[in-house]
């Protein structure tokens, strides 16, 4: 029995408003409520609602046979509650079918795993509590922001009692190995690792509507034939992608929803593949070996490293200055401070400061509310300067 | 006396100090029985027209090309080739920003036959076209108006000035508010230099805004010293606006306000800021303005790790400038090369003590300002630190600086300009 494991990332950041020097010390509201609401409503209409409905229909049609997993960031859940309760309801309906697994992650979709274990664990717990409160299920499997992973991060996660983690099947880490097996952490072999098959995932997520792609157009027949071509001993194909792929990155007009609707039928008819959740996979499969990841990897860009968020002068200064504040935030122990601290950590803020657009331009630019990384940096630092003033106040 | 004056911008639509200076000067001249026809590429309709007659070059109708004399027509064609620059912007920037948008020669010729000219009115996209058209219109205006003297401000209008002189035979005064050496250092743009020199050679008198500029004109452009007169700029007294913004930070604020370009020395300001913050973290620095070095400066601030103490506020206009001064405790103008520099005077009017570079024209007339070499970052940091911490010093500068600047009058500058006119008619 071979299986496809679908996991979708659902995330929306709290974008900052234009925050000028003159606002520092005067205005402590940092977020662009109007823009956040409009974007949330737009994505809800184009992606979340229709895609959720599609999966709900498929589950109703095929019963036990269609299974999927989501990771929904805490900041996305917060924004659903504020701007799109209808979306939250439809996710609840999906979870209630029992065919949908919810994964664990950091509350604010943060990069805290890289620098601050205490904050990292605090956010995981916060997110876990939120998921239990909203969906009534306890997440068993962890996925880190942007699939960021290293041996050490895996060890932290194992220590928290998680059984498995979802990571990128980065070529420079795998070498000749296939991502279509279950692996385990190099330090603590109890932690199992599901690796993204980036070729097949990106065929859907990035290349689906690319007319310059030699395999355009992508049909379910073609896709299933590729699955069938995989060595029969390789058991699990992990297809991980942003949920916004459906309807937002790939517009409805590209036929992405039709592809999704037709996929199970084609799969069941012409292959021996099934659908599984990550929890099913770790129950039915044994790890074939350990993966060594001394330096953090992620699912971003060609490099599969951290350079979309960290590495240039702007990002390092903003990131460094932010996490320097942890002790002061803790000492202050004020609910509003904790909340802003959380929202400021969202990885998107650092992504906007990325200067390597010219190579991976399209994806970065599409989601960027700023005209330039410099503007993003100046705005973030102005906000941070005000935040520091609040921390220093008696 | 009637003066035909060519400018490029006029308050409130300004991108630099030139517009401010033109405003002050024309206002000052209006005290001396002088009638001015001030030509700007585009009048927006809300300029203060109470004291000068503002012509809108965009409303000039040229019905026939024959109106323009043959010798100007040939000049004009020459000008079109030579005027491929934007003030406050270097040629590479111009090429990058307007790549593909530059009007070809053919298109341009067609435009000449249009009966009505419209200017975009700022340092904008069709500069080639606009400068040349401006010269054409200058000739037309020169033929259809009566005046005694032509006065052209900065190189962009020199083509217009020369054209008007050729058409009318009236004396030409060119006013050097900046030289190409101020804008670009030693790596000058030869075409701009050539236009500047042609303007000064064609002129009957050259007005320099400082002795520093006068020296550059004589040494680097080879203009005869007898022809070059220094008339320092001044500052227009303003009623300070009601401040809408309140200062939100408790730290003292040190401000840089100007275009973020090589000429203004923003990099020296940042290096000095780092030294001051290392010594005393309870200071904030603000860089107001934009320009081709802005991104580099933001990166530098990030690299130095001072970004929570060093803020960028972008380009400020009108009252915002005074709001910014209202929040400032020290104003710094570290210009590498500043022909004059009006903004320190505005700071002083707002009770802000100033630190200026010795390489600025305004340093020639100010006594109550700390003066440092722009390149001496240690000295600059020292001056900032002193001004922030030794109250006696800052109090003295505020008090006497205010008196000093209150005694500067555009009328005084205008009087000297008027003397220049008189010597020519």
Q: What is the 3-state secondary structure (H, E, C) of B77-140?
A: HHHHHHCCCECCECHHHHHHHCCCCCCCHHHHHHHHCCCECCCCCCCCCCHHHHHHHHHHHHHH
Check residue B142 and give its pLDDT. Answer: 83
| pLDDT tier for residue B78 given thresholds of 50, 70 and 90 | very low
Check residue B90 and give its pLDDT. Answer: 41
Check residue A179 and give its pLDDT. Answer: 95
* Mean pLDDT of all residues in A167-177: 93
Contact A316 B309 (CB under 8 A): no
Contact A26 B248 (CB under 8 A): yes
* Mean pLDDT of all residues in A14-32: 94
The C-alpha atoms of residue A319 and residue B271 are separated, in whole angstroms, by 22
Least confident of A2-16, A163-177, B130-144, B303-317: B130-144
| pLDDT tier for residue B100 given thresholds of 50, 70 and 90 | very low
B132-162 per-residue burial string, b: 16 or more CB within 10 A, e: under 16: bbbbbbbbbbbeeeebbbbbbbbbbbbbbbb
| pLDDT tier for residue B248 given thresholds of 50, 70 and 90 | confident
Least confident of A287-301, A318-332, B65-79: B65-79
What's the gap in Å between the CA of B95 and the closest CA on chain A? 20
- pLDDT higher for A185 or B139? A185
| pLDDT tier for residue B354 given thresholds of 50, 70 and 90 | very high
Domain with CATH 3.20.110.20 in chain A: 2-291
pLDDT at B80 over 90: no
pLDDT at B162 over 50: yes
Check residue A357 and give its pLDDT. Answer: 62
Mean pLDDT of chain B: 79
Check residue A68 and give its pLDDT. Answer: 97
Check residue A135 and give its pLDDT. Answer: 97
Which of A23, A25, A310, A313 would best serve as a mutation to test chain B binding (most B beta carbons within 10 A)?
Answer: A313
Three-class SS of residue B311?
strand
Least confident of A46-50, A249-253, B67-71: B67-71
Question: pLDDT tens digits for B258-294?
Answer: 989 988 999 999 999 999 999 999 999 999 999 889 9
pLDDT at B66 over 60: no
A202-226 per-residue burial string, b: 16 or more CB within 10 A, e: under 16: bbbbbbbbeeeeeeeebebeebbee
Q: What is the dihedral of CA B271, B273, B279, B281, to 10 degrees?
A: -140
pLDDT at B109 over 50: no
Report in angstroms the alpha-carbon separations of B302 from A155, A320, B149, B291, B298: 33, 10, 52, 18, 6
pLDDT at A184 over 80: yes
pLDDT at A80 over 60: yes
Least confident of A27-31, A279-283, A351-355: A351-355
Q: Which residue of B has its CA nearest to A377?
A: B298
| pLDDT tier for residue A127 given thresholds of 50, 70 and 90 | very high
Check residue A297 and give its pLDDT. Answer: 95
Contact B311 A21 (CB under 8 A): yes
Which of B244, B248, B252, B305 would best serve as a mutation to test chain A binding (most A beta carbons within 10 A)?
Answer: B248
Check residue B51 and give its pLDDT. Answer: 60
pLDDT at B74 over 70: no
Q: Enumerate the H helices of chain A as residue ranges.
A: 33-43, 49-62, 74-83, 85-96, 117-135, 151-159, 171-174, 198-205, 220-229, 256-270, 278-284, 313-323, 326-332, 335-344, 348-351, 357-366, 373-392
Radius of gyration of chain A (CA): 21
The C-alpha atoms of residue B144 and residue B139 are separated, in whole angstroms, by 9
Question: pLDDT tens digits for A188-210?
Answer: 999 999 999 999 999 999 999 99
Check residue A370 and give its pLDDT. Answer: 87
Contact B307 A24 (CB under 8 A): no
Nearest-by-Cβ selection for B308 from A25, A316, A381: A381
| pLDDT tier for residue A362 given thresholds of 50, 70 and 90 | low
Q: Which residues of B touch A322 (CB under 8 A)?
A: none
Three-class SS of residue B231?
coil
SS3 content of chain A, % helix, strand, coil (to 5): 50, 15, 35
Nearest to A54 by CA among A258, A251, A322: A258
Contact B249 A22 (CB under 8 A): no
CB atoms within 10 A of CB A366: 9
Q: Which residues of A touch B298 (CB under 8 A)?
A: 314, 374, 377-378
The C-alpha atoms of residue B287 and residue B270 are separated, in whole angstroms, by 9
Check residue A278 and give its pLDDT. Answer: 97
Question: pLDDT tens digits for B299-350?
Answer: 999 999 999 999 999 988 878 888 999 999 999 999 998 999 988 999 999 9
Question: pLDDT tens digits for A83-121?
Answer: 999 999 999 999 999 999 999 999 999 999 999 999 999
Question: pLDDT tens digits for B370-417?
Answer: 999 999 999 999 999 999 999 888 999 999 999 999 888 899 999 999
Q: Which residue of B has its CA nearest to A23?
A: B248
Q: Which residue of A has its CA nearest to B247?
A: A22
- pLDDT higher for A359 or B89? A359
The C-alpha atoms of residue A238 and residue A229 are separated, in whole angstroms, by 15
- Residue A193 phi, psi dihedral angles, 5° rounding: -125, 125
Domains and their CATH numbers in chain B: 2-234+411-424 (3.40.50.2000), 252-406 (3.40.50.2000)
Candidates A146, A235, A244, A248; catalytic one: A146
- pLDDT higher for B186 or A294? A294
Report in angstroms the alpha-carbon separations of B114 from B109, B124, B134, B157, B380: 9, 20, 14, 21, 54
Contact A24 B248 (CB under 8 A): yes
| pLDDT tier for residue B112 given thresholds of 50, 70 and 90 | very low
For residue B88, give every residue at least 6 positions away whose Cβ sits within 8 Å of its Cβ, in sequence order, or none: B15, B16, B123, B183, B259, B261, B291
pLDDT at B61 over 80: no
Contact B298 A20 (CB under 8 A): no
- Residue B175 phi, psi dihedral angles, 5° rounding: -115, 115
pLDDT at B99 over 50: no
Whether omega for the bond prior to residue B12 falls within 30 degrees of 0, making it cis, is yes
| pLDDT tier for residue B217 given thresholds of 50, 70 and 90 | very high
Check residue A97 and give its pLDDT. Answer: 96
What is the reported pTM?
A: 0.80
pLDDT at B102 over 90: no
Catalytic residue check, A118: no
Is the separation of the CB atoms in B414 and B233 below 8 Å? no
- pLDDT higher for B88 or B188? B188
pLDDT at A344 over 90: yes
CB atoms within 10 A of CB B262: 20
The C-alpha atoms of residue B391 and residue B389 are separated, in whole angstroms, by 6
Check residue A56 and give its pLDDT. Answer: 97
Q: Which residue of A has its CA nearest to B294?
A: A374
Question: pLDDT tens digits for A363-389?
Answer: 555 567 888 888 899 999 999 999 999
Nearest to A279 by CA among A140, A153, A149: A140
Contact A378 B298 (CB under 8 A): yes
Chain A contacts to B (CB-CB under 8 A)? 20-27, 313-314, 316-318, 320-321, 372, 374, 377-378, 381-382, 384-386, 388-389
* Mean pLDDT of all residues in B21-37: 85
Check residue B195 and give its pLDDT. Answer: 87
Contact A378 B312 (CB under 8 A): yes
Contact B312 A25 (CB under 8 A): no
Q: Which residue of A has its CA nearest to B245?
A: A22
| pLDDT tier for residue B42 given thresholds of 50, 70 and 90 | low
What's the gap in Å between the CA of A323 and the closest CA on chain B? 13
Question: pLDDT tens digits for B120-158?
Answer: 444 434 455 666 667 777 887 788 788 999 999 998 889
Check residue B330 and give its pLDDT. Answer: 97
- Reply yes or no on domain A2-291 having CATH 3.50.30.40: no
What's the gap in Å between the CA of A31 and the closest CA on chain B? 18
How distant is the alpha carbon of residue A197 from its chain centre? 15
pLDDT at A308 over 50: yes
Nearest-by-Cβ selection for A321 from B295, B307, B312: B307
Q: Which residues of A touch B249 (CB under 8 A)?
A: 24-25, 385, 389
* Mean pLDDT of all residues in B227-248: 84
Check residue B130 and give its pLDDT. Answer: 64
């Amino acid at each position: 029995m071979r299986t496809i494991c679908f996991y979708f990332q659902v995330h929306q950041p709290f974008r900052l408003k234009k925050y000028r020097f003159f606002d520092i010390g005067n205005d402590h509201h940092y977020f662009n409520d109007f823009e956040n609401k409009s974007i949330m409503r737009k994505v809800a209409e184009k992606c979340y609602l229709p895609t959720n409905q599609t999966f709900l229909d498929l589950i109703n049609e095929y019963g036990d046979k269609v299974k999927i997993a989501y990771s929904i960031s805490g900041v996305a859940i917060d924004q659903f509650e504020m701007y799109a309760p209808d979306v939250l309801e439809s996710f609840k309906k999906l979870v209630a079918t029992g065919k949908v697994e919810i994964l664990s992650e950091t509350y604010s979709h943060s990069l805290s795993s890289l620098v601050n274990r205490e904050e990292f664990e605090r956010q995981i717990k916060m997110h876990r509590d939120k998921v239990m409160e909203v969906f009534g299920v306890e997440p068993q499997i962890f996925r880190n922001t942007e699939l960021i992973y290293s041996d050490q991060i895996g060890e932290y996660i194992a220590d928290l009692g998680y059984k498995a983690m979802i990571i990128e099947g980065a070529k420079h880490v795998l070498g000749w190995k296939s991502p279509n097996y279950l692996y385990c952490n190099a330090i603590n072999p109890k932690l199992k690792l599901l690796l993204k098959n980036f070729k097949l995932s990106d065929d859907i997520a990035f290349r689906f509507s690319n007319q310059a792609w030699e395999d355009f157009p992508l049909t379910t027949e073609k896709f299933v034939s590729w699955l069938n071509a995989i060595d029969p001993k390789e058991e699990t194909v992990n297809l991980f992608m942003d949920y916004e792929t459906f309807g937002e990155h790939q517009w409805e007009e590209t036929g992405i929803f039709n592809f999704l609707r037709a996929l199970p039928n084609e799969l069941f008819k012409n292959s021996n593949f099934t659908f599984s959740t990550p929890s099913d996979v770790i129950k039915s499969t044994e790890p074939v070996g350990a993966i060594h990841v001394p330096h953090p990897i992620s699912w971003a860009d060609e490099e599969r490293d951290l350079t979309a968020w960290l590495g240039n002068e702007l990002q390092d200064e903003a990131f460094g200055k932010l996490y320097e504040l942890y002790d002061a935030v803790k000492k202050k122990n004020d609910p509003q401070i904790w909340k802003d601290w959380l929202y400021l950590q969202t990885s998107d803020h650092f992504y906007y400061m990325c200067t390597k657009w010219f190579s991976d331009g399209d994806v970065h630019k599409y989601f960027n509310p700023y005209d330039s990384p410099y503007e993003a940096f100046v705005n973030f630092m102005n906000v941070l300067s005000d935040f520091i003033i609040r921390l220093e106040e008696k | 006396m009637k003066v035909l004056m060519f400018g490029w911008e006029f308050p409130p639509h300004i991108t630099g100090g030139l517009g401010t200076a033109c405003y002050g000067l024309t206002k000052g001249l209006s005290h001396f029985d002088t009638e001015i026809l001030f030509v700007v590429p585009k009048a927006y309709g809300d300029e203060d027209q109470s004291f000068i007659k503002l012509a809108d070059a965009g409303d000039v109708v040229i019905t026939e090309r024959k109106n323009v004399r043959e010798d100007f027509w040939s000049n004009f064609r020459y000008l079109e080739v030579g005027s491929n620059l934007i003030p406050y912007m270097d040629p590479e920037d111009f090429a990058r920003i307007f790549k593909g948008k530059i009007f070809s020669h053919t298109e341009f010729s067609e435009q000449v036959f249009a009966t009505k000219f419209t200017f975009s009115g700022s340092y904008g996209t069709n500069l080639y076209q606009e400068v040349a058209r401006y010269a054409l219109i200058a000739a037309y205006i020169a033929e259809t108006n009566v005046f005694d003297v032509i006065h052209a401000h900065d190189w962009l209008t020199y083509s217009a000035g020369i054209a008007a002189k050729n058409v009318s035979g009236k004396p030409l005064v060119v006013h050097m508010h900046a030289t190409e050496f101020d804008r670009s250092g030693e790596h000058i743009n030869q075409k701009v230099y050539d236009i500047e020199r042609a303007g000064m050679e064609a002129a009957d008198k050259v007005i320099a805004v400082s002795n520093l500029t006068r020296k550059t004109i004589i040494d680097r452009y080879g203009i005869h010293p007898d022809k070059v007169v220094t008339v320092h700029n001044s500052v227009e007294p303003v009623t300070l606006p009601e401040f809408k913004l309140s200062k939100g930070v408790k730290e003292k604020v040190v401000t840089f306000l100007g275009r973020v370009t090589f000429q203004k020395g923003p990099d020296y300001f940042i290096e000095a800021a780092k030294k001051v913050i290392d010594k005393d973290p309870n200071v904030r620095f603000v860089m107001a303005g934009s320009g081709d070095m802005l991104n580099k400066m933001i990166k530098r601030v990030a690299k130095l790790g001072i970004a929570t103490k060093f803020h960028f506020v972008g380009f400020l206009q009108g009252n915002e400038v005074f709001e910014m001064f209202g929040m400032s405790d020290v104003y710094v103008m570290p210009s590498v090369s500043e022909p004059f520099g009006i903004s320190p005077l505005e700071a002083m009017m707002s009770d802000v003590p100033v630190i200026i570079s010795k390489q600025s024209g305004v340093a020639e007339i100010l006594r109550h300002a700390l003066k440092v070499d722009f390149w001496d970052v240690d000295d600059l940091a020292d001056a900032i630190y002193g001004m922030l911490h030794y109250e006696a010093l800052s109090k003295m500068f505020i008090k006497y600086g205010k008196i000093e600047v209150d005694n500067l009058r555009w009328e005084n500058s205008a009087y000297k300009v008027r003397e220049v006119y008189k010597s020519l008619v």
